[in-house]
């Protein structure tokens, strides 16, 4: 447990270490065993993360379109500024769309990260060098 000091202006407790965990440099590096990518691995994941984000968005759009067609028996979702739909229909569509996008994008990002991590952590065969 972090030691604390009483603030000069009241009875609030303030951690002496400014919220930085022991053993952490505080510069965005993760603690050993935390499972978070650090340094070069984070940089290597960046292009994959962008691709997974785009893939997740496209997939979520398709899934939402299929779900909306099943629910409403219409081809297009209600547009927020259209007078053709009630406010209730627009809000229900927006809520459903947000839930579907959040779920699918998170799943794609999560499993994409697991795949990249598995690739980065995989044992590599030793290179065969001829010495001589």
Give the model's pLDDT for residue 9. 47
Nearest to 120 by CA among 43, 30, 29: 43
Contact (Cβ atoms closer than 8 angstroms) between residue 71 and residue 63: no
Q: Where are the domains of the chain?
A: 44-122
Give the model's pLDDT for residue 16. 52
DSSP state of 123: P
Give the model's pLDDT for residue 101. 93
Give the model's pLDDT for residue 109. 84
Q: What is the pTM of this model?
A: 0.59
- pLDDT tens, per residue, the chain with 132 residues: 455 444 444 444 545 555 555 544 444 434 455 667 777 777 878 888 888 888 889 999 999 999 989 988 888 888 888 888 889 989 999 999 999 999 998 898 888 888 888 887 777 787 776 665
Give the model's pLDDT for residue 22. 52
Residue 9 to residues 3, 6, 13, 14, 54, Cα–Cα distance (Å):
18, 8, 11, 11, 49
């Amino acid at each position: 447990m972090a030691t604390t000091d009483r603030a000069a202006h009241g009875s609030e407790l303030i951690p002496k270490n400014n919220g930085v965990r022991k053993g952490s440099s505080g510069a965005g590096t993760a603690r050993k065993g935390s499972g978070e990518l650090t340094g070069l691995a984070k940089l290597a994941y960046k292009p994959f993360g962008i691709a997974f984000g785009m893939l997740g968005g496209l997939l979520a759009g398709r899934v939402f379109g299929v779900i909306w067609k099943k629910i409403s028996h219409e081809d297009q979702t209600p547009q927020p500024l259209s007078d053709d739909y009630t406010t209730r229909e627009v809000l229900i569509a927006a809520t459903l769309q947000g839930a579907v996008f959040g779920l699918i994008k998170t799943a794609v990002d999560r499993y994409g990260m697991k795949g990249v991590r598995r690739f980065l952590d995989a044992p590599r065969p030793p290179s065969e060098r001829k010495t001589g």
